[in-house]
C-alpha cells in the first residue's frame, strides 16, 4: 500500500527527530497535527512494521547541597493551572554529565503553557546560575511585575543574592515544602523529559556540546514537542 508506506516514512521521521523517545500516543498526535488520520492503534502498528520503539532513558534526580538561608512560604500550594502567561513561573536546577564533571542547568518555566522562558548553564551550582536564568525570563517576557516565582528550597534560591534579584524585578517568591518534590511537579516533569528523551546516557564530551544540545531540546520542547497539558499542542502554539 503506497499510502501506508508514505505514512510510515513520516512516522519514522518524527520518531528519529525525537531521538527514539516518542511512543505511539505522541506519534499519533504529531501525525494528526499534520493532517493524517492516525489513531494510537495504527501508530503502534506502523511502529512495529518499521521496527521502531520508544526508548526512554533512566531519570536521575539532582539534589542540591548548601546552607539554607531565607525560606519563602509555600504560596503556590500545587495550584499549577493558571489562566494567563506571567502569572506563575517555576524554577529549578539539574545536572548534566560533561566528561568526568557535572554541568548545571537552571531553567524557568511559565505555568500557563509549560513554556521554558529562561535558562542558564554553569560548572558551579550557585545563585549566579539561577539569577542568570531569571534575568533571561524577565527580559524575554517584557519585564512583567508581580509574577509569582516558585522553586524548591535549594541554596541557589534561598540566597540573599537571588532574593535581591527577585526584589529588583518586582517578583513574588514561593517555595516548596522541604522534601516535597511534587510541590514543583511541572519542573520535575520537564527535567525528567529532558533526561529520558534527549541527554545521552553517557553525557557529553564538552561543555560547548552540552550547551548547544540542551538548548536544541529547549527549542524543540517549546516549539515542536506536543504537550498533553496543552491538549497536544506545543507551548508556543498554546500561548
pLDDT tens for the chain, residues 1 to 239: 888 888 888 888 888 887 777 788 888 888 888 888 888 888 889 888 888 787 765 554 544 445 445 788 899 999 999 999 999 999 999 999 999 999 999 999 999 999 999 999 999 999 999 999 999 999 999 999 999 999 999 889 999 999 999 999 999 999 998 878 889 999 999 999 999 889 998 999 999 999 999 999 999 999 999 998 999 999 999 99
- Distance, in Å, from the CA atom of 130 to the CA atom of 151, rounded to the nearest integer, reads 11
Phi and psi, residue 16, nearest 5°: -65, -40
Q: What is the pLDDT of residue 24?
A: 86
Cell numbers linked to 3: 499510502
Q: Report the C-alpha gap between 15 and 11 in whole angstroms.
A: 6
Report the pLDDT value the prediction gives residue 65, as an integer from 0 to 100: 46
Could you name the CATH architecture of 88-238?
2-Layer Sandwich (3.30)
26 touches 40 (CB < 8 A): no
Amino acid at each position: 500500500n503506497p499510502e501506508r508506506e508514505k505514512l510510515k516514512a513520516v512516522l519514522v521521521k518524527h520518531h528519529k527527530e525525537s531521538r527514539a523517545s516518542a511512543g505511539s500516543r505522541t506519534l499519533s498526535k504529531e501525525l494528526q497535527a499534520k493532517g493524517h488520520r492516525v489513531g494510537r492503534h495504527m501508530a503502534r502498528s506502523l511502529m512495529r512494521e518499521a521496527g521502531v520503539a520508544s526508548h526512554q532513558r533512566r531519570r536521575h534526580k539532582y539534589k542540591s547541597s548548601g546552607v539554607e538561608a531565607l525560606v519563602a512560604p509555600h504560596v503556590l500550594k500545587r495550584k499549577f493551572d493558571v489562566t494567563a502567561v506571567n502569572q506563575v513561573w517555576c524554577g529549578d536546577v539539574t545536572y548534566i554529565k560533561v566528561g568526568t564533571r557535572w554541568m548545571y542547568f537552571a531553567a524557568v518555566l511559565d505555568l500557563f503553557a509549560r513554556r521554558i522562558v529562561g535558562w542558564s548553564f554553569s560548572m558551579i551550582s550557585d545563585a549566579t546560575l539561577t539569577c542568570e536564568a531569571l534575568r533571561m525570563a524577565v527580559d524575554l517576557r517584557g519585564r512583567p511585575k508581580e509574577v509569582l516565582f516558585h522553586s524548591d528550597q535549594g541554596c541557589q534560591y534561598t540566597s540573599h543574592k537571588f532574593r535581591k534579584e527577585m526584589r529588583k524585578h518586582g517578583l513574588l517568591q514561593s517555595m516548596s515544602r522541604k522534601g516535597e518534590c511534587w510541590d514543583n511537579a511541572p519542573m520535575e516533569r520537564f527535567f525528567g523529559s529532558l533526561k529520558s528523551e534527549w541527554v545521552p546516557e553517557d553525557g557529553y564530551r564538552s561543555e560547548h556540546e552540552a550547551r548547544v544540545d540542551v538548548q536544541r531540546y529547549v527549542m524543540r520542547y517549546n516549539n515542536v514537542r506536543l504537550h498533553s497539558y496543552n491538549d497536544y499542542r506545543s507551548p508556543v502554539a498554546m500561548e
